Structure 1
Amino acid sequence: MTEDLQDAIEERDIRAAAQWLAEHAPHEIADELTRLRAVDSALAWRLLPKGRALEVFEELDATQQQELLGGMRDHQFAELVENMDPDDRARLLGEAPAGFVQKVLAGLSPRERRMTAELLGYPADSIGRVMSPEIISVHDTTTVGQALTRLRARAEHAETIDLLAVVDASRAYRGTVSLKQLVLADPEQAVIDIADDDHPIGHVDDRAEDSARLLQEYNLTGLVILDLEDRVVGILTVDDALEIIEQADSEDFARQSGSLPSAGHYFSSSVWRLAGLRVVWLFVLILAAGLTVSVMQLFEDTLEAVTALALFIPLLVGTGGNVGAQAATAAVRALALGEVRPSDVVRVAWREARVGLLLGLGLGVVALGIGSIVVDFPVATVVGISVIGICTWAATVGAVMPLLARAIRIDPAVISAPLVTTLVDATGLLIYFLVAAAVLGL
């Protein structure tokens, strides 16, 4: 077995490369193609059998797909995009330049073009954009036997056969029926009699992430999607839901680390692009850090009077920032999972204030002990009390800010840990110097 596709391609050992491609799963091949140079990736791609090439192509991110398509002849290009699932094609085109979109749509058959155009007509972050329109539906007057016959006839072009939608004469939703239910039911029985009308559903204008998490929460294999008139128009399957959740989590991780989210594989992004994604938030954070400088300048006389106070600024700043970051991360996660809502802001603030107080009491004792060893007891007392106040404040602010962001329709992850940390740094120093002034009589 060939251990490394890259070595085989670089040595132009075609037989070894073909063997490696034959022995690995599509997602593994897609990952390796992304790691290769563009010319080497194109060579490896040409070694894939036609059917397997499509499987690998659908595992690639949109950027890599565009690069591969750009190097293909027109007939190869048209054949590949024609055979893609409509939802995968819409995902590709949603991130592509207008000229590329027009080229793809022009090369599609009328049926595929119509389905793709319909999906692209929905908002970019809606479930309508990423659902599959290839859902099998049956009329409510259909018998179980007739439904099974229809399923066999449509199975090849359906996104899934595990879940069927039951509709009336106007295609309005009446319920869902699973393949297991059909197999076990009496063939002469009407499907409406076994249909589940309480099965969770989604609407085309719902947020894609919300629909995906709904499917995950209820442990469903599929979520039927309706239009604004409650007509069945598509389905979200569990594999697509997992991709949506993965992308949403990746975006949240990026924002929580103080960076703009990057669409695509790490190795498919240039150094300039990676720097550009990160520099925006760094500019914001360095400006916000100016608050810390302002606080230091405001209490310059206090520092001159008791220089020992300066020794503990890194300890206090670091502790407050860490507590705030923990609370912010917990709040963003709870919001994403639907465990809390913006209306819970008071309950969350009260809860986190108590958590911060408990943390502050524990850490304050440690800080008091450290301070007593390094400096005199009065200054150590200032440090201990400040830790308690800073931890309580940091936990409260860190948890509340994401909820307020959601309330004004800002992505909670934008209120990232670095931003919370920077804010807590400045306000924490304010608490520190005010405590010092009160305890030391400055």
Structure 2
Amino acid sequence: MDDLLAAVRAGDLRALRDLLVLEDVPTIVDELERLDAVSRAIAFRALPKDLALAVFEDLDAELQGELLDAMRQETVAELISGLDPDDRATLLDELPASVASTLLAALSPHEREMTTSLLGYPPDSAGRRMTPQAVHLPVHLSVGAALDHVRAHEADAEMIYTLPVVAAGREVVGVVSLRRLFVTDPQVPLREVMSDPIVVRATEDQEVAARSVRDHGTLAVPVVDGEQRLLGLFTVDDAMRILEHEESEDFARTGASEPLRRPYLATRVLDLVRSRILWLFVLIAAAALTVNVLEHFEDTLAEVVTLALFIPLLIGTGGNTGAQAVTTVVRAMALGDVRFRDLPRVVWRELVTGALLGTALAAVAAVPVTFLVGGDIALVLALALVIVCTLATTAGAVIPMVAKKVGVDPAVVSAPFITTLVDATGLIVYFVVAQAVLGL
């Protein structure tokens, strides 16, 4: 990295080329992502043409758009035309409409038609991310004829390892792997070696399609329309990229910030601030509930000042318990382990879990608190811990599942929101229990 930076600062393209060609594509992408925008453009210009295209394909779409601004028009045209149609559609989504139109106009009619067909599907749909460059096999062929068909059309396909089998009207009736064709007698009819197809609809959410590829352990799945007609393939490389993006987005929102949409070191400090500041304002407003609760029970605190000693312990424990529950449930929802119809079972499991956790924590805390401040306060704290932990885990189960049902990203109602909610409700529980036990 030090040698790379030195060559960039010196503007020595030959030294840059000598350094970069020794590395594989993922390593070069990683190094470019660590550079600032100007240095990245200088280093990219030093790459040989074929290597530059491979590196460009692996960069995030936002960084691709940034690089295009620094390239000459003829170089931009070469890069855009060299992309696969699905990667090209992803890039064009990130560019201003006027720039995207100009780049589309520079493509050949065939490439432009494939790209615009993908852009016609809804954003974040499987159709938007599929490759239309797929070899399909007529169902009436023999295995030998199918192999001949693959050889004749492989140059126009992005991938040939998973092959859809189609009947009349391009209706998908099966799939077969290239390996299966190679190890089967050429005279065997294709329909005897094909498998039942696992397909996704073009309008289906891209994350659902990506999980289908991952869960079935396949290299690609056919993408079809409403009448089961073949439109393209949804490949494993796109599936893994989408899952990484979706999980990064959920992880960011669980921590009360917006996803960066680009590598950390390639993100400007101002963008880091923007990704976090709105959430902090929202959380500050929510935390005002805690202040109001304390003000409401000011007289109770004045009578038994000792109660104030255990407020941080109580709300901290409740918040942590709720955060554990919501993280577990959101993850289970993302993996498809639980659905909305499972809400009663999930609530019951988390309610029991919270009660048991609260009981265990109360038992541990009661002994030292009794010796420190007396049995009455220890009883108040123990009862409050059981109730607060039960409420926290139950809320952590209900809120994300209901949020998804009404169309809100479950990650948005994340651990910080659960923590803030539990802070306020936990204080109410604590003071109400104190009033009841201590007769205040």
TM band (smaller chain): over 0.9
| 2:107 paired with 1:97 | no
Counterparts of 2:257 and 2:206, CA distance in 1: 22
Q: State the match for 1:189 in structure 2.
A: 188
Counterparts of 1:372 and 1:16, CA distance in 2: 72
1:63–1:268 contact (8 Å) kept in structure 2: no
Q: State the match for 1:353 in structure 2.
A: 351
2:65–2:94 contact (8 Å) kept in structure 1: no
Q: State the match for 2:161 in structure 1.
A: 162
Number of aligned positions between the proteins? 440
Moved more, 209-218 or 372-381: 372-381
| 2:228 paired with 1:230 | yes
Q: State the match for 1:303 in structure 2.
A: 301
Counterparts of 1:326 and 1:82, CA distance in 2: 47
Cα RMSD between the aligned structures? 1.4
Structure 1 segment 272-421 matched on structure 2, within 5 A: 272-421=270-419
Moved more, 393-402 or 25-34: 25-34
Tell me how far 1:190 sits from its aligned partner.
2.6
Counterparts of 1:77 and 1:17, CA distance in 2: 21
Which one-letter code corresponds to 1:257 in the other structure? G
Q: State the match for 1:9 in structure 2.
A: 8
Counterparts of 2:65 and 2:195, CA distance in 1: 41
Which one-letter code corresponds to 1:426 in the other structure? A
Which one-letter code corresponds to 1:126 in the other structure? S
Tell me how far 1:84 sits from its aligned partner.
0.3
Tell me how far 1:15 sits from its aligned partner.
4.4
Counterparts of 1:401 and 1:407, CA distance in 2: 10
Unaligned runs of 5+ in 2: none
Which one-letter code corresponds to 1:245 in the other structure? L
Tell me how far 1:3 sits from its aligned partner.
5.8
Moved more, 262-271 or 114-123: 262-271
Paired residue secondary structure (1:347): helix
Which one-letter code corresponds to 2:84 in the other structure? D
Which one-letter code corresponds to 1:353 in the other structure? L
Moved more, 280-289 or 371-380: 371-380
- Deviations 1:164-183 (Å, cap 9, x if unpaired)? 11111211111111112211
Which one-letter code corresponds to 1:266 in the other structure? Y
Structure 1 segment 172-251 matched on structure 2, within 5 A: 172-197=171-196, 199-251=197-249
Q: State the match for 2:65 in structure 1.
A: 66
- Deviations 1:37-95 (Å, cap 9, x if unpaired)? 32222221121111110110011111111111112222111111001011111111112
Counterparts of 1:272 and 1:13, CA distance in 2: 31
Structure 1 segment 125-140 matched on structure 2, within 5 A: 125-140=124-139
Tell me how far 1:132 sits from its aligned partner.
1.1
Tell me how far 1:4 sits from its aligned partner.
3.9
Tell me how far 1:370 sits from its aligned partner.
3.6
Counterparts of 1:16 and 1:366, CA distance in 2: 65
Q: State the match for 2:428 in structure 1.
A: 430
Q: State the match for 1:269 in structure 2.
A: 267
Q: State the match for 1:146 in structure 2.
A: 145
- Deviations 1:209-229 (Å, cap 9, x if unpaired)? 111111111111111111122
Paired residue secondary structure (1:289): helix
- Deviations 1:361-403 (Å, cap 9, x if unpaired)? 1111222234224322211211111111111110111121111
Paired residue secondary structure (1:234): strand
Counterparts of 1:4 and 1:155, CA distance in 2: 41
2:35–2:266 contact (8 Å) kept in structure 1: no
Which one-letter code corresponds to 2:279 in the other structure? W
Counterparts of 1:169 and 1:10, CA distance in 2: 61
Moved more, 128-137 or 8-17: 8-17
Tell me how far 1:194 sits from its aligned partner.
1.8
Paired residue secondary structure (2:233): strand
Counterparts of 2:23 and 2:398, CA distance in 1: 47
1:3–1:20 contact (8 Å) kept in structure 2: no
**TM superposition score normalised by structure 2:** 0.97
Tell me how far 1:17 sits from its aligned partner.
2.4
Tell me how far 1:234 sits from its aligned partner.
1.1
Tell me how far 1:98 sits from its aligned partner.
0.6
**TM superposition score normalised by structure 1:** 0.96
1:367–1:387 contact (8 Å) kept in structure 2: no
Counterparts of 2:122 and 2:418, CA distance in 1: 31
Tell me how far 1:424 sits from its aligned partner.
0.8
1:143–1:187 contact (8 Å) kept in structure 2: yes
Unaligned runs of 5+ in 1: none
Tell me how far 1:410 sits from its aligned partner.
1.3
| 2:131 paired with 1:122 | no
Paired residue secondary structure (2:168): coil
Which one-letter code corresponds to 2:320 in the other structure? N
